[in-house]
Structure 1
Amino acid sequence: MKNSIRKIFLKLREDERGATLVEYGIALFVAIVVGGTVLTQLSDQTSSNFSDAVGAATRSN
């Protein structure tokens, strides 16, 4: 019994498929967070640019 449990743990320790899946999950999470941050900052800047353009257009008329 003890020997079979040891074999199972050794087999699981050598199997890296789960670790690879976790690494891909972490990489995907980081990409989503970074992408979301960049898009949020880009949208803020774009909104500011449009507001400035509208303000300039109304002042010139």
Structure 2
Amino acid sequence: MKIQIKNLFKRLKSCEQGATLVEYGIALAVAAAVGVGGFTALGGKVSTNVTAASAAFDAPTTN
């Protein structure tokens, strides 16, 4: 099993497609981290705004 994994890495190292795959994987990981960070940072603010909007719709109107 160890030899198979070692051979796989050797093939990927010498193959352009392997390098491209790794680059796309890294880019995807960075994008996911930025997305999670953004949702975490903005989560409370968005929740507050949605709650306020919901309360505005539920509030009785006076004519």
**What TM-score comes out, normalization by structure 1 length?**
0.52
- Alignment-derived partner of residue 16 in structure 1: 16
Q: Distance in 1 between matches of 2:32 and 2:19?
A: 20
Structure with the greater alpha carbon radius of gyration: 1
1:28 Cα deviation after fit: 0.2
**What TM-score comes out, normalization by structure 2 length?**
0.51
Q: Which amino acid aligns with 1:19?
A: A
Equivalent runs, 1:40-55 vs 2, <5 Å: 40-49=40-49, 53=52
Larger RCO (CA under 8 A, 6+ residues apart): 2
- Alignment-derived partner of residue 4 in structure 1: none
Q: Which runs of 5+ in 2 are unaligned?
A: 1-9, 53-63
Provide runs of 4+ in structure 1 moved above 3 Å: 47-51
1:49 Cα deviation after fit: 4.9
More helix by share: 1
Q: Percent identity?
A: 51
Q: Distance in 2 between matches of 1:18 and 1:50?
A: 45
Q: Distance in 2 between matches of 1:35 and 1:17?
A: 27
